[in-house]
Amino acid sequence: MSVKGKTIVVTGAASGIGAQTARVLMAGGATVVAVDRNEPAAGTAARYIKVDLSEPVSIRKAVQAVGKGIDGLCNIAGLPPTQGRVHVLKVNFLGLREFTEAVLPNFNPGASIVNLASLAGIGWPESSAAIRALIALRDFDAVGALCDSHHVDDARSYFFSKEALIVWTMQNRWSWRERGIRMNLVSPGPVQTPILQDFLKTLGARAEEDMRVMDRPGTPQDIAPLVAFLCSDGSAWIRGTNIACDGGMGSHVLLNMTGLA
Ligand code: NAI
């Protein structure tokens, strides 16, 4: 399951899961292009491109800097709900999609896209109207109005951003099939990174309950190898799939929801 010789773009490579993914890919022989608003630590990546994923102009400049010959894109940059609904939806969904679509012409045949969603997106089947509206939205300046019409507050915005990301990825399972390009998702449960405290603050009692049933939170080391596998040729027939990596929390939530626990 090698990534040797591949050129892989990793957003969010300056911290947490993105930084660990970049390190695992580099250790596997890939050339990593880090794309982040912050510069990663030395040795994390072969190249760094600065971007603000909440800004279409910045995204366009970053795409130009990325250049051609890309074999993989790991969309890992993301914001927690404490950053406010407009910013969260811009970075976690609109900016991610804008960057991905703009960089797609630079992909080699057989390239892989991996989007970091979350266990927080598990409720997507219950929000189809709002998700449809967000996926139809292209204007970054209209996010606040969309949130108002669909009753999305700051706390809900993180869940909503990941629900939309899951649905958009599934919808595009075959969009670039003739070029052999696939897109999948990884959905972690709570992971020990700088943003974990933000989640716990927003989710309150529910997060405390989650942490009580779990033996431990995840670590970036638990998530990065799965992302790297999805970049390798061994995952070529996995398409439009959302893979949980959550210590069993996803099964726990689903079984409790259906009364089958
Ligand atoms: P982190 O805070 O350690 O890293 C996030 C990275 O995104 C940082 O390097 C940051 O600079 C970058 N970023 C944020 N806003 C940006 C912007 N506007 N433009 C460019 N880069 C920007 O967070 P972590 O935990 O590593 O999260 C990575 C991904 O995993 C996120 O998408 C998050 O939603 C997801 N996730 C995290 C979980 C957790 O418990 N930590 C659980 C489930 C999913």
Q: Is 173 in the pocket of ligand 1 (CB under 6 A)?
A: no
Q: What is the per-residue pLDDT for 24?
A: 98
Q: What is the per-residue pLDDT for 149?
A: 98
Q: What is the per-residue pLDDT for 200?
A: 84
**What is the spatial distance between Cα 190 and Cα 217, in angstroms, rounded to a whole number?**
6
Q: What is the per-residue pLDDT for 140?
A: 98
Q: What is the per-residue pLDDT for 110?
A: 98
Of all protein residues, whose CA lies closest to atom 41 belonging to ligand 1?
Answer: 191
pLDDT tier for residue 12 given thresholds of 50, 70 and 90: very high
More confident residue, 10 or 209: 10
pLDDT tier for residue 77 given thresholds of 50, 70 and 90: very high
Contacts of 104 (CB under 8 A, 6+ apart): 176, 181
Contacts of 139 (CB under 8 A, 6+ apart): none
Q: What is the per-residue pLDDT for 209?
A: 80
Q: Is 193 in the pocket of ligand 1 (CB under 6 A)?
A: yes
CB atoms under 10 Å from CB of 77, counted, come to: 27
**Residue 22, CB-side half-sphere exposure with 13 Å CA sphere:** 29
Q: What is the per-residue pLDDT for 210?
A: 81
Q: What is the per-residue pLDDT for 86?
A: 98
Q: What is the per-residue pLDDT for 69?
A: 98
Q: Is 40 in the pocket of ligand 1 (CB under 6 A)?
A: no
Of all protein residues, whose CA lies closest to atom 32 belonging to ligand 1?
Answer: 78
pLDDT above 90 (res 157): yes
Q: What is the per-residue pLDDT for 244?
A: 98
Q: What is the per-residue pLDDT for 211?
A: 81
pLDDT above 80 (res 216): yes
pLDDT above 80 (res 204): no
Indicate which residue of 48, 93, 107, 158 is catalytic. 158
In the predicted model, what is the mean pLDDT of residues 143-158?
97
In the predicted model, what is the mean pLDDT of residues 77-97?
97
Q: Is 48 among the catalytic positions?
A: no
Q: Is 35 in the pocket of ligand 1 (CB under 6 A)?
A: no
Are 37 and 61 spatial neighbours (Cβ–Cβ below 8 Å)?
Answer: no
**What is the spatial distance between Cα 107 and Cα 256, in angstroms, rounded to a whole number?**
42
